[in-house]
Amino acid sequence: MKKKEVVWTLFLDRDGVINKRLPDDYVKVWHEFEFLPKTLKALNLLRPLVKYIFVVTNQQGISKGLMNLEDLSFIHKHLKKVTRKNKSSIDEIYFCPDLAEDDPPCRKPNIGMGLQAKSDFPDLDFKYSIMVGDSPSDIEFGKKLQMKTVFIDEKMADIQTEADYTCHDLMEFYRIFVLDFTGKFKS
């Protein structure tokens, strides 16, 4: 009997994973969005190895009145455009505009964005999904949905999380993904 090939899905947090996080602020307009080093290359290398790439991002700056839905839509439209141009397309971007203190179902660590992705892409299997994030709420979101989890710690400050892996950036995650999840490595 032939072994079934596993097809993986990536869930990526945005700020701190794809782009530079602004300390005590929000990316409110496109010119504030700065890709982290090697991120586009890592996405380009990961794209052919996975079925889907989703971005799941808490964006409470909207509810705080610091930006609006049109601003966020513009940022995400350009994020998708740049990644598509780089041959590393993102299948969908899910966001939660609500305040943390309201504890909405869409806000990580709650699983609303994951359930929305499953509704939009019914063949999605959380058991073969990986959540890559830079906060404990990202890891908790992935664990609640029974995903593998990867904690991005740019400074490698040895922050304690329940993540399955800890990496410096998406390029390091790519290397781990290839070695541990596919067995095929190309540099």
Interacting residues of 181 by C-beta distance below 8 A, sequence separation 6+: 6, 8, 130, 148
Does residue 125 have an active-site annotation?
no
Neighbours of 99 (CB within 10 A): 14
The residue among 163, 165, 162, 185 whose CA lies nearest residue 175 is 185
Residue 138 has pLDDT above 90, yes or no: yes
pTM beyond 0.95: the answer is no
User: Can you give the pLDDT at residue 164?
Assistant: 93
Residue 3 has what pLDDT? Answer: 54
Choose the catalytic residue: 13, 91, 134, 138.
13
The yes-or-no answer on residue 15 being catalytic is yes
Q: What is the pLDDT of residue 7?
A: 87
Please report, to the nearest 10 degrees, the dihedral formed by the alpha carbons of residues 34, 36, 42, 43 taken in order: -30
Q: Are 16 and 58 in contact (CB under 8 A)?
A: no
Q: How many CB atoms lie within 10 A of CB 101?
A: 8
Q: Which amino acid is at 181?
A: F
Out of 15, 98, 134, 138, which one is annotated catalytic? 15
Q: Which domains does the chain have, with CATH numbers?
A: 8-171 (3.40.50.1000)
Task: Determine the Cα–Cα distance for residues 104 and 99; give it in Å rounded to an integer.
Answer: 8
Strand partners, 58: 96
Residues forming beta bridges with residue 19, ordered by sequence position = 15, 35
Report whether pLDDT(173) > 80.
yes
CB 148 within 8 A of CB 130: yes
Q: 129 falls in which pLDDT band (50, 70, 90)?
A: very high
* Band of pLDDT at residue 184, cut at 50, 70 and 90: very low
Average pLDDT value over all residues in the chain: 92
157 three-state secondary structure: coil
For the stretch 102-116, pLDDT in tens is: 999 999 999 999 999
Backbone φ, ψ for residue 152 (5° rounding): -90, 120
Query: How far apart, in Å, do the first and last CA atoms of the chain sit?
Result: 32
